[in-house]
Amino acid sequence: MEEKKLENKPDVVSVNKQQSWFYSDVVKDHFFNPRKFMMAGDEKNFSYNGLGLVGSPACGDMMKIWIQVDPVTQSIKDCRWQTFGCGSAIASTSMLATMLTENTGMSLELARKLRPQDIMERLGGLPARKIHCSVLGDKALRAAINDFYRHDGQIDKIEREDGRLIDKVLKITDKDIEEAVLEGADTLEKVQAKTKVGTGDPSCLPEVEQLIRFYKEKYFGI
C-alpha cells in the first residue's frame, strides 16, 4: 500500500503548490548563475581558514567548500565552492553560499544547523529524486567548519559524523541508511539492495525499518 501511495506522489516537492514544473525559477537562476563559485586555479586568490571536501570525482559526486571565518565573531564572512555534480547540486550549493554570506555572515553555530530542507525551501523545492543532491553542500560545509575549529585550536567543538553502527557485522551505520533513503530507497528491500544491511545481522532489521520511516518523514514528509 505504501509503495503505491509513493508512486502517486508528484516528483517535485515545491513550496508553492501551484508550481508544476520540475525546477523552480530560483533553481534555474542559481544553476545558470551560480553564486560564489570557485573557478579552477582561483584557490590561491581566495583567503580562507576552513576547507571541507566530501565525495569523489571518480564516483560522480564531489563537493568542496572554502570558508572565510571571522575569528572574533565566529561568523562566515565569505565562501567559495566547487562541485562535480548535477544541476540540483549546483543550485543547492549556490543557494547555500548565498545563505551563509547574507547580511553580516552566518554564525558557525547556525551554519552547522542548516538542513537540506532549509536550502530547498529557499529554492522553491527540488524533484524528490534530486533531494539527495542538496545534502552534498551542507556535509562539505560541516567538514569546513570542523577544519576551521581544528586549525583554530577549538578541538572540543569538532563534531564527528561517523554515524552509529546499525549492522555490527557489516559495519553499516545510520548514515549509510540515511544516504540510501536520500537516493530513493524508500522500502526495506530497496535499502537492503543498496547497503546489504541486515544480511550480516538480521536482528537489526526492526531498527532499520524505524530509521527508514524516520528519514522518509524528515526529508520527504511521508
Annotation says 79 is catalytic: no
Kindly name the residue from 59, 79, 86, 204 that is annotated as catalytic. 59
Burial of 117 (0-12, 13-18, 19+ CB in 10 A): middle
pTM exceeding the 0.85 threshold for the entire prediction: no
Domain residue spans of the chain:
9-157, 165-220
Kindly name the residue from 79, 86, 133, 204 that is annotated as catalytic. 133
User: Does 3.90.1010.10 match the CATH number of domain 9-157?
Assistant: yes
Single-letter code of the amino acid located at 14 = S
Predicted confidence (pLDDT) at residue 126 exceeds the cutoff of 80? no
62, β-bridge pairs: 55, 84
Q: Three-state SS for 186?
A: coil
Determine how β-strand 75-84 pairs with β-strand 61-70. Answer: antiparallel
- Residue 21's pLDDT is 45
The reply to whether 9-157 and 165-220 are identical in fold is no
Q: In the structure grid, which three cell numbers stand for residue 65, read together?
A: 567548500
Annotation says 133 is catalytic: yes
Query: What is d(CA 91, CA 178) in angstroms, rounded to the nearest whole number?
Result: 22
List all residues 6 or more positions away from 69 whose beta carbon is below 8 Å from its beta carbon.
49, 50, 75, 76, 77, 108, 148
pLDDT (tens digit, 9 = 90+) per residue, 30-48?
A: 888 999 999 888 888 999 9
* Helix 25-32, helix 87-101: angle, nearest 10: 90
20-34, 37-51, 121-135, 167-181: least confidently modelled range: 121-135
pLDDT (tens digit, 9 = 90+) per residue, 58-76?
A: 556 788 999 999 999 999 9
CATH number among 1.10.1740.110, 1.10.10.1100, 3.40.190.10, 2.40.50.140, domain 165-220: 1.10.10.1100
